[in-house]
Amino acid sequence: MYVTADTVADEHEWVRSREQVPALINDVRGRLGPLFDTEVGEVTAAEYQQEVDAVFADGDCAVNVAALCGLLRELDCEGDYPGFVVDEFLGRKLAATIAGGQPLALLAEATFHFADVHTHGEEGETAGADDLDAALAAGFQTRMPGWDWTATESPFSVE
């Protein structure tokens, strides 16, 4: 794989136009909310696209997101299971990279596994395709507003 500025721009457009990701984000939030006894705000396609733009505006982050997306989109293994570890690893790292620094990165990695269980690729897609969608949903849902605990300042700040 050779990544250039054009590669990153192409990945930006591909991720931005991934119409199913906002629905996956809302599905993940709809499933997680009740588990944590909270309501989580839904995400619109426009809000998702705005966050994609923000992620790709940071060139250092964008090149990593672009490379991980490209790897997952191309990753395939005969019978899928032999590639299970690597597509899970790449999916976790993509979700964490999109979400940002700690603690959001760790939450995105955990959410990736939750999203991945509920995300299934289409017949004929590569083994990494469903992990790519799960990672996009996990990473973006984690960094986006909607969770009550992210709406206020931390009570653990020391002034």
Render each residue's pLDDT in the chain as its tens digit; 159 residues: 899 999 999 999 999 999 999 999 999 999 999 998 888 999 999 999 999 999 999 999 999 999 999 998 888 777 656 667 788 899 999 999 999 999 999 999 999 999 988 776 676 666 666 789 999 999 999 999 888 777 778 888 887
The full set of domain ranges for the chain reads 5-145
Model pTM above 0.85: yes
Cis omega (within 30 of 0) on the bond before 82? no
Q: What is the dihedral angle through the alpha carbons of 142, 57, 135, 7, rounded to the nearest 10 degrees?
A: 180
Q: How far is CA 138 from CA 30, 90, 102, 104, in A?
A: 13, 13, 15, 10
Q: Which amino acid is at 149?
A: W
